[in-house]
Structure 1
Amino acid sequence: MKDFDIKVELTKDKKEKPAFDQLSFGTNFTDHMFVMDYTKGQGWHDPRIIPYQPITLDPAAIVFHYGQTVFEGLKAYRTKDEEILLFRPDQNMKRLNRSNERLCIPVFDEELALAGLKKLISIDKDWVPNVEGTSLYIRPFIFATEPYLGVAASDTYRFLIILSPVGAYYKEGINPVKIAVEQEYVRAVTGGTGNAKTAGNYAGSLKAQVVADAAGYSQVLWLDGKEKKYIEEVGSMNVFFKINGEVITPVLNGSILEGITRKSVIELLNHWDIPVVERKISIDEIFRAYQEGVLEEAFGTGTAAVISPIGELFWQGEKLVINNGETGAISKKVYDSLTGIQTGTKEDPFGWRVKVE
């Protein structure tokens, strides 16, 4: 990796760390953050690590009015040998730049961003928790800062990385969750921003989540925005189904986010010679497989929860209980393998781990 000039200003007032065995998700933040600015004609400049602090923006900043912002999510893990590991961080930076291109945000030097991330974690390494099931959540994000009320791409941006020690995303952990099939609202459409990780996608999903939560469901299963027939994602995760021995996941179509965990699961299954295909799959096909007794497993995949088994789908007034509401063998094997690679307890034949010095 290149040698980048990243300035460092250390805090003079360190925070009290939370108890690592009582962590929730995304409520505590470390002492420092990485910052870099963009100015039209100058490019990305002034990479630095400074004390964690509030952001000051003009009320007319474009991000507030037109939502020109993108983000990522990844994790760092502390091993039993006190090493700190990242999982495929290069893929997150590549995806962040793909999101940038969709939102007309200038792309950044991915090596520089990774160098800044590693330096930030090294400075705040005491915040990486050492309790089983915990990790350091990493949130890189970029937003438009130019004060302008015209509908146009900003001429200035800011790139930040903040860190948060976290426990499990779902309180259920690896235990199966109940999911409601969403039939009114849609998450995204082909040609829209569904394959970019941008804030508006998540704001638009909240209403369906509120309705599902009130009905006792952890998340919603999104159908396509055109026919409301084909399965796309589950909550903010990619989704997999095991039907009659074959694992199926919706093919990337322009409205589905290309998950790094999704990609890793497919590569793992191929490595194990377990049949896995990417194709369109309808909710009707899932229902028929359930009726025929060949819907064997279903699970979501994502950075926050890694693997989230689905124990029940609620669709058109019917409860489809999958695998007796228990975690399936494939779900468990994938979860154990991925978390083992991430935390350094299992071999990494793919070279996915990146050590933070």
Structure 2
Amino acid sequence: MADRKAVTADPAKTDARRRHDPELRGFASDNYAGAHPEILAALALANGGHQVSYGEDEYTAHLQSVIRSHFGSSAEAFPVFNGTGANVVALQAMTDRWGAVICAGTAHIHVDECGAPERVGGLKLLTIPTEDGKLTPELIDREAWGWDDEHRAMPQVVSIAQTTEVGTCYTPEEIRAICEHAHERGMKVHLDGARIANAAATLDVPMRTFTNVAGVDVLSYGGTKNGMIFGEAVVVLNPDAVRAMKHVRKLSMQLASKMRFVSVQLEALLAKDLWLRNAQHANKMAKRLAAGVRAIDGVGIKYAVESNAVFATLPHDVAERLQKRYRFYFWDEAAGLVRWMCSFDTTPEDVDDFTEAIAEEMGKR
């Protein structure tokens, strides 16, 4: 039998080259950051040889024990490609064809997913305005009615985001109150955890404290914003809250053939403390940025800085000039509200240079 030789990379045979400035930093999104070196190392370990496809590999099998160490013995992870996919798969599996989902008006599923929950998932979103991106039992009751009315989509799920889309963070007690309120009315609770690690870092508690322990039924676990290349997971905390998860994932085009490369990233993030280290650092940089800009006349902070996001108000002309120097987005252009995001690789020097640039642009007025 011939010896098997590992296939190794030969850069000379490809046109792969660095096409960006690795020193460039921005504050537009934590999705702009690259992959954490420990994630890249894990991917290399998972490469080589053959593994069974579509989730029957050793890495996806081991991921289940890692997930249960964080979210309890009944938790089961279903890796998917991205956050929108995680949300749509989760909500489809939690609802009937006539079902509706109650969410905040700022929710990612409502504002930033191109109608995918409704068009792909086939469900109705019932949105509620909030002051800080957070739902309460009282706010939920604005849409939690009409279960026997055949003319109205039936409220079946309450979806919350932790952290919220405006960077605020629910306390465990707030989430527990929502879960109890929803369950009393026969509804389930879904948590969009695109930045769940940042919430745990802010609260200084394990993620289980405000998920399965608080009563959350299904979680969309986010890794891309916290150091992974790609991939998230639907984490089913209450098996009775979903139906046919595997079929829904495949039907929604979220079943990865080479799933080991998603699962090993999640394992690298969660098996020890990489998820927490990355989130703690990003949060710390956001607080540093907020402290710096608070000292600049004419710049205001809109929401409490409880994660890796800073929402600030500043004159429109200043924001436009500043955008030519650093990438970031308007959140509400008419109101002069912008969003600045920090990442696991944001440095204190990055923050200080950006703060200095803001002060310079404000000084030109």
TM-score range, shorter chain: under 0.3
More helix by share: 2
Structure with more contact order per residue of length (Cα contacts < 8 Å, sep ≥ 6)? 2
TM-score (norm 2): 0.26
Q: Which has the higher strand share?
A: 1
